[in-house]
């Protein structure tokens, strides 16, 4: 339909700090959306609480900025109710992997067709720089009083272990790469996860653009094939193991798609096996009443609740 | 007798609940009205559970009462625990093989009860074994003992019906419903139909159970025992046998529910189970469309996904109890801020903390009304009985959508887990009213300040935003003080609209003489027992009315004030310590409700204890009576 990236942007002034990696994520996202040419009305951007979560109002598509950590269940309720919608979650590392970690795992288990984009700045930006769950042990970023006493969670490994069927890493300042990865993630049928390394110049003075430049490298898909091509378990297992191994590499951080398995049925597909009419008729698209009356007529009531109905047999 | 109380007991996992279902259905076939309430531990196997039921032949059974006319016991714990609840000349059905069992051998019994019973038996000079106890009851309380060997029944049925010895024990609990049915002289046809309905046509099970019924009937005849209950005079042809959980689930379906999320918790989960069973039924789907029931990872996800579904335009709901509701509170406040119509069905149980997970309580009134940070509009409704719960569950969606607020349907374990013969609902009364729904379009303002209830579009129809932060008319964050004041006020002033627009019968119902000086006031599951107590008082010349508060929030102050002004004695009745409804009235109207009857043991208020408690208060002896009866 020929929408340009700027058509996916609102006119609001953006209140991130100068040099914040979130700017890069925003522009790669709108680029990806315009290239995918998705009807803005049929998109929903669900975002959590944090600097990252503010992205919802800079994108000119329906936005649901919700509670700290709860974007995934919000997105799940939206997507399953109306599977026609393309649902994208944006959240910080505190949001998705700290307070919302349980939901993060649950989404992988379900494989709902939702894309999750992690703004991984390794700090709690909006609350002024505390350690986030992805900050490595022993590191002391600017606002910490002492070096980090916690070990970090490995987002890629956690996503793989949870069952996400598309898992990738990209970098906020690599606009083209990030755009491509987001496109692939959105196009993937199933739960997709993108860990976006994101500089936070205000609070993370350790993981700077220079640091990321030094430590990251691109996966070359001529010799790295993350896609499970056959629906047989062997190939999936082999590629999953390789992806895990790569996820554990921490001296250098690979950018690219770690794993993609299109053969696992989505939650929606599994629902469709139980409901004959889903997703054609979804909760959002099926009528609930007839001219402000209930759909239940006395006859349908008797059919639907037959097990609870008792006729008196007096006289028999 | 035109009504009777019965008690069926056994250890958890022995089929007491099945017995109850079959018996209630058989009684319904006969035309009786029944209310049966299940008492059980937070335990899967082994602990004592029992059913207390009231069977009425000429009026609606709406309360429970002690003493009982009949006990049918599966085990010795039932006999020891409840034997003294029998009325003079009552019936006790038990297993003859239990006679030598001693109190101290009942390993599953809790220490406190054992000690109380030991003291009681000692003071009566009765030995601590079943046989001595039974003899005592027979000689001192005229109890008619119907004892036969359960094992011999089972082995004879096993032989006749060729049931493998390893499976025959499954029919143990059939003995107790058979005994009750035989003692009431229910026709075998009623029992058979009930079994057929319960076992969904698995004829083998029906036949095996009928074989037990025949054997037991023969023993009952031999014992020349019977419960002289009058033939039913109620005129109905068809009714529902449903628990409170079932009634709510049916009401939700009638109201257009399309998405239900839940995290398992007693006593709420059975409602979701009902819906799950229904939703994947092909004929249901073809009649009603897809109803998605989603078990999620916690109650936070439950409320969050329900909100998500509502934003997509779906009638959505989540179901929980106190601990789960606490986890939902941040989401509730979000729904208030974003004017999202969701329905939270809140079945109270005994708190605080996990408290008494399987016992009843009404102590969460304030939690439902006040939980949540910030000020926002919400509606809290409650239901006095199963039929009300059905209508209210459907209507909750209309209120939620018309006013774009979260609605909390506050119920409790007593209603959730009691099974009753429920009149057929009038489906013409069920409306589906979605309020101010629009398609969106250019310049659409989801949070328009033009009217108290803004136009609502669904995700997929328009571009607009939601945020828990204060927002402008489009839903974008703004901290501007003038916008804040307007948005804030609009969200809260909806409450007045709700108060003004809801019809009186949704706010409260008054039964009994409204011109009388005595006013009982309560909400939820105390309705039946309060009405029965009033009726009994009336026979003694005391006239009074019961106010069944249905709209708990916004509080229907005008209506309640009018009622209170003409009453001399106002007595609050509640399953709590604090008689919270009285405090709510004080807060809203500045009128102190000083008299109350409360109970917080986790067991329901029964008719026999409420009536004397009220008399004590009316005669000026006490202002507050705390009830404690029931095992
Ligand atoms: C329940 C709750 N607890 C705490 C907060 C405060 N809070 C706001 S943002 C935030 C952390 C954000 O960190 P992250 O998710 O990494 O996002 P970032 O700002 O780094 O993008 C916290 C703790 C909150 N909003 N809600
Ligand atoms: S604090 Fe960090 S993450 Fe937040 S806006 Fe500033 S630079 Fe970006
Ligand atoms: Mg962060």
A106-164 residue pLDDT tens: 999 999 999 999 999 999 999 999 999 999 999 999 999 999 999 999 999 999 999 99
Q: Per the domain annotation, does B236 fall within a domain?
A: no
- Residue for token digits 């204060």? B470
Q: Which residue of B has its CA nearest to A290?
A: B432
- Measured in whole angstroms, the distance separating CA B335 from the mean position of its chain's CA atoms is 27
Residues flanking ion ligand 3, Cβ below 5 Å: A 92-93, 121, 132
A265 lines ligand 2 (CB under 6 A): no
Of residues B310, B291, B336, B258, the one with CA closest to residue B458:
B310
Mutate to test the interface with B, among A15, A42, A63, A81 (most CBs of B within 10 A): A81
B308 touches chain A (CB under 8 A): yes
**DSSP alpha helices (H): ranges in B62-187?**
76-82, 111-124, 130-141, 150-161, 174-183
> What CATH number corresponds to the domain at position B351?
3.40.50.970
Q: Per the domain annotation, does B234 fall within a domain?
A: no
Helix and strand numbers, DSSP H then E, in chain A: 10, 13
Residues of B in contact with A62 (CB under 8 A): 459-460, 462-465
Nearest-CA residue for ligand 1 atom 23 is: A127
Is B325 within 8 Å of B367 (Cβ atoms)?
Answer: yes
How far is ligand 1, taken at its centre, from the CA of residue A94, in Å?
6
- Confidence band, pLDDT 50/70/90 cuts, at residue B566: confident
Q: Per the domain annotation, does B394 fall within a domain?
A: yes
- pLDDT at position B617 is 98
- Residue for token digits 């940070």? B373
Q: Looking at the structure, do residues B588 and B457 belong to the same domain, yes or no?
A: no
pLDDT in tens, B258-286: 999 999 999 999 999 999 999 888 888 88
Domains in chain B, number:
4
B273 touches chain A (CB under 8 A): no
Q: Per the domain annotation, does B231 fall within a domain?
A: no
d(CA B176, CA A244) in angstroms, rounded, equals: 59
Q: Which ligand is nearest to the CA of A20?
A: 2
Nearest-CA residue for ligand 1 atom 24 is: A68
Distances (CA, A) of B74 to B93, B173, B210, B344: 9, 7, 18, 38
Structure tokens at A92: 């910080």
End of a domain among B387, B410, B429?
Answer: B429
B313 touches chain A (CB under 8 A): yes
**Would you call A81 and B421 a contact, using CB atoms and an 8 Å cutoff?**
no
Identify the bridge partners of residue A189 per DSSP, sorted by sequence position: none
pLDDT in tens, A265-281: 999 999 999 998 899 99
Ligand 1 nearest-atom number relative to CA A124: 13
| B positions 395-434 inside 8 Å of A (CB) | 421, 427-428, 430-433
A76 lines ligand 2 (CB under 6 A): no
Q: Which residue of B has its CA nearest to A268?
A: B292
pLDDT in tens, A68-114: 999 999 999 999 999 999 999 999 999 999 999 999 999 999 999 99
**Mean pLDDT across B98-124:** 98
Distance spanning both ends of chain B, measured CA to CA: 25
Distances (CA, A) of B326 to B230, B348, B364, B465: 48, 12, 10, 27
- Distance (Å) from the alpha carbon of A259 to chain B's nearest alpha carbon: 25
Q: What is the mean pLDDT of chain B?
A: 97
Q: In this structure, how many other beta carbons lie within 10 angstroms of the beta carbon of residue A213? A: 11
Q: Per the domain annotation, does B23 fall within a domain?
A: yes
Residues of A in contact with B28 (CB under 8 A): 310, 312
Q: Looking at the structure, do residues B595 and B446 belong to the same domain, yes or no?
A: no
Which residues touch B565 (CB under 8 Å, ≥6 apart)?
none
Q: Looking at the structure, do residues B466 and B421 belong to the same domain, yes or no?
A: no
pTM for the structure as a whole: 0.98
Q: Which residue of B has its CA nearest to A311?
A: B238
Q: Looking at the structure, do residues B320 and B209 belong to the same domain, yes or no?
A: no
Is B257 within 8 Å of B269 (Cβ atoms)?
Answer: no
- Residue for token digits 């004017």? B339
A78 lines ligand 1 (CB under 6 A): no
What is the interface pTM, i.e. ipTM, of the complex? 0.98
Q: Which residue of A has its CA nearest to B312?
A: A78
Is A179 within 8 Å of A35 (Cβ atoms)?
Answer: yes
Whether the predicted pLDDT of B514 surpasses 70 = no
> What CATH number corresponds to the domain at position B552?
3.40.50.920
Is B136 within 8 Å of B151 (Cβ atoms)?
Answer: no
Query: β-strand A289-290 against A293-294: which pairing, if any?
Result: antiparallel
Which residues touch A261 (CB under 8 Å, ≥6 apart)?
A165, A166, A190, A227, A228, A236, A239, A240
- pLDDT at position A2 is 78
Q: What are the φ and ψ backbone dihedral angles of B2, each rounded to 5 degrees?
A: -105, 5
pLDDT in tens, A51-62: 999 999 999 999
Q: Looking at the structure, do residues B463 and B514 belong to the same domain, yes or no?
A: no
End of a domain among B414, B429, B444?
Answer: B429
A145 touches chain B (CB under 8 A): no
- Strands, E assignment, B190-280: 238-243, 259-262
Distances (CA, A) of A254 to A133, A158, A196, A197, A207: 20, 16, 12, 11, 15
Report the sign of the C-alpha dihedral through residues A288, A291, A294, A298, in that order: negative
Segments forming the whole domain that contains residue B263: 241-429
- Distance (Å) from the alpha carbon of B51 to chain A's nearest alpha carbon: 19
Q: Looking at the structure, do residues B302 and B333 belong to the same domain, yes or no?
A: yes
Nearest to B290 among A60, A73, A275 (CB): A275
- pLDDT at position A44 is 98
- Strands, E assignment, B306-370: 316-320, 343-348
- pLDDT at position B550 is 98
Q: Looking at the structure, do residues B84 and B187 belong to the same domain, yes or no?
A: yes
| B positions 436-465 inside 8 Å of A (CB) | 440, 458-465
d(CA B261, CA B105) in angstroms, rounded, equals: 44
pLDDT in tens, A234-276: 999 999 999 999 999 999 999 999 999 999 999 999 999 999 8
Is A266 within 8 Å of A276 (Cβ atoms)?
Answer: no
Q: Per the domain annotation, does B15 fall within a domain?
A: yes
- pLDDT at position B4 is 98
**Would you call A310 and B25 a contact, using CB atoms and an 8 Å cutoff?**
yes
Nearest 10 degrees: Cα torsion B486, B488, B489, B493: 140
Q: Looking at the structure, do residues B262 and B282 belong to the same domain, yes or no?
A: yes
Q: Per the domain annotation, does B400 fall within a domain?
A: yes
Whether the predicted pLDDT of A1 surpasses 60 = no
Q: Looking at the structure, do residues B255 and B215 belong to the same domain, yes or no?
A: no
Whether the predicted pLDDT of B236 surpasses 90 = no
Q: Per the domain annotation, does B235 fall within a domain?
A: no
A20 lines ligand 2 (CB under 6 A): yes
**Would you call A292 and B242 a contact, using CB atoms and an 8 Å cutoff?**
no
Q: Which ligand is nearest to the CA of A208?
A: 2
Going by CATH, does the domain composed of A5-268 fall within 3.40.980.10? no
A14 lines ligand 2 (CB under 6 A): no
Residue spans of the domains in chain A: they are: 5-268, 286-313
Is B354 within 8 Å of B417 (Cβ atoms)?
Answer: no
Residues of B in contact with A10 (CB under 8 A): 476
Q: Looking at the structure, do residues B346 and B423 belong to the same domain, yes or no?
A: yes
Q: Looking at the structure, do residues B167 and B296 belong to the same domain, yes or no?
A: no
Residue pairs spanning A and B at CB distance below 8 A: 261
Q: Looking at the structure, do residues B472 and B519 belong to the same domain, yes or no?
A: no
- Residue for token digits 């995918």? A36
Phi-psi region for residue A129, left (φ > 0), alpha (ψ -120 to 50) or beta? left
pLDDT in tens, B582-591: 999 999 999 9
């Amino acid at each position: 339909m020929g929408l340009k990236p700027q058509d996916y942007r609102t006119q609001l002034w953006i209140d991130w700090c100068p040099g914040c990696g979130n700017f890069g994520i925003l522009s790669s996202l709108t680029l990806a959306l315009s290239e995918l040419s998705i009807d803005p009305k049929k998109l929903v951007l669900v975002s959590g609480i944090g600097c990252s979560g503010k992205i919802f109002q800079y994108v000119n598509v329906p936005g649901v900025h919700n509670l700290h950590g709860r974007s995934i269940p919000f997105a799940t309720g939206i997507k399953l109710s109306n599977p026609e919608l393309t649902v994208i979650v944006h959240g910080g590392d505190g949001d998705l992997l700290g307070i919302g970690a349980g939901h993060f795992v649950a989404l992988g288990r379900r494989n709902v067709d939702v894309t999750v984009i992690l703004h991984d700045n390794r700090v709690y930006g909006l609350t002024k720089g505390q350690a986030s769950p992805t900050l490595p042990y022993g590191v002391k970023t600017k606002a910490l009083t002492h070096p980090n006493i916690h070990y970090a969670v490995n987002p890629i490994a956690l996503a793989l272990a949870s069952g996400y069927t598309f898992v990738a890493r990209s970098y906020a300042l690599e606009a083209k790469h990030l755009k491509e990865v987001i496109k692939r993630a959105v196009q993937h049928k199933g739960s997709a996860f993108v860990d976006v390394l994101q500089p936070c110049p205000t609070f993370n003075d350790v993981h700077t653009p220079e640091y990321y430049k030094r430590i990251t490298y691109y996966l070359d898909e001529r010799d790295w094939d993350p896609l499970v091509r056959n629906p047989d378990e062997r190939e999936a297992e082999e590629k999953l193991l390789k992806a895990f191994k790569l996820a554990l590499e921490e001296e250098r951080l690979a950018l690219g798609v770690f794993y993609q398995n299109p053969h696992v049925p989505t939650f929606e597909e599994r629902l469709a096996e139980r409901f004959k009419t889903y997703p054609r008729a979804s909760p959002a698209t099926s009528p609930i009443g007839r001219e402000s009356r209930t759909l239940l007529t006395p006859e349908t009531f008797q059919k639907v609740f037959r097990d609870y109905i008792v006729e008196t047999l007096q006289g028999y | 007798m035109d009504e009777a109380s019965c008690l069926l007991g056994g250890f958890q996992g022995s089929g007491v609940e099945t017995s109850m279902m079959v018996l209630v259905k058989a009684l319904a076939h006969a035309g009786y009205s029944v209310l049966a309430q299940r008492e059980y531990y937070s335990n899967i196997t082994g602990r004592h559970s029992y059913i207390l039921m009231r069977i009425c032949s000429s009026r609606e059974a709406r309360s429970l009462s002690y003493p009982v006319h009949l006990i049918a016991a599966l085990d010795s714990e039932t006999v020891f625990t409840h034997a003294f609840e029998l009325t003079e000349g009552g019936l006790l059905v038990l297993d003859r093989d239990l006679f030598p069992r001693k109190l101290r051998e009942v390993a599953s019994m809790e220490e406190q009860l054992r000690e109380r019973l030991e003291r009681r038996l000692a003071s009566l000079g009765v030995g601590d074994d079943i046989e001595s106890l039974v003899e005592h009851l027979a000689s001192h309380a005229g109890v008619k003992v119907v004892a036969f060997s359960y094992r011999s029944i089972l082995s004879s049925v096993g032989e006749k019906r060729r049931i493998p010895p390893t499976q025959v024990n499954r029919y143990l609990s059939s003995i107790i419903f058979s005994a009750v049915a035989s003692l009431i002289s229910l026709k075998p046809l009623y029992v058979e139909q009930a079994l057929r309905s319960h076992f969904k046509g698995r004829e083998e099970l029906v036949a095996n159970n009928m074989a037990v019924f025949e054997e037991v009937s023969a023993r009952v005849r031999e014992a020349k025992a019977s419960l002289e209950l009058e033939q039913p005079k109620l005129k109905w042809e068809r009714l529902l046998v449903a628990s409170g959980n079932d009634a709510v689930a049916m009401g939700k379906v009638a109201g257009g529910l399309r998405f239900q999320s839940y995290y398992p918790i007693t006593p709420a989960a059975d409602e979701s189970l009902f819906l799950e069973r229904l939703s994947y039924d092909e004929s249901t789907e073809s009649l009603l469309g897809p109803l998605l029931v989603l078990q999620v990872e916690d109650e936070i996800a439950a409320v969050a996904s329900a909100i998500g579904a509502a934003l997509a335009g779906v009638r959505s709901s989540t179901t929980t109890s106190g601990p789960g509701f606490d986890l939902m509170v941040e989401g509730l406040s979000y729904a208030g801020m974003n004017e999202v119509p969701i329905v939270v069905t809140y079945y109270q149980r005994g708190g605080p903390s996990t408290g008494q997970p399987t016992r009843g309580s009404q102590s969460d009134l304030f939690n439902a009304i006040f939980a949540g940070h910030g000020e926002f509009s919400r509606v809290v409704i409650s239901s006095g009985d199963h039929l009300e719960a059905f209508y209210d569950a459907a209507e909750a969606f209309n209120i939620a959508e018309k006013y774009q607020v979260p609605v909390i349907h506050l119920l409790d374990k007593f209603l959730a887990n009691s099974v009753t013969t429920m009149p057929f609902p009038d489906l013409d009364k069920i409306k589906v009213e979605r309020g101010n729904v629009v398609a969106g379009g250019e310049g659409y303002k989801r949070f328009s300040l033009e009217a108290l209830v803004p136009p609502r579009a669904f995700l997929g129809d328009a571009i607009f935003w939601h945020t828990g932060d204060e927002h402008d008319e489009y839903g974008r964050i703004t901290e501007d003080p003038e916008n804040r004041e307007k948005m804030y006020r609009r969200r809260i002033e909806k409450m007045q609209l709700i108060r003004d627009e809801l019809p009186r019968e949704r706010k409260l119902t008054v039964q009994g003489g409204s011109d009388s000086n005595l006013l009982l006031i309560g909400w939820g599951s105390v309705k039946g027992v309060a009405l029965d107590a009033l009726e009994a008082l009336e026979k003694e010349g005391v006239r009074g009315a019961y106010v069944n508060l249905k709209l708990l929030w916004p509080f229907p102050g005008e209506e309640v004030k009018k009622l209170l002004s003409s009453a001399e004695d106002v007595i609050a009745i509640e399953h709590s310590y604090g008689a919270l409804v009285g405090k709510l009235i004080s807060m809203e109207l500045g009128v102190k409700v000083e008299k109350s009857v409360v109970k917080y043991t986790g067991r329901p208020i029964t008719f026999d204890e409420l009536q004397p408690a009220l008399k004590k208060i009316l005669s000026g002896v006490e202002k507050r009576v705390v009830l404690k009866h029931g095992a």
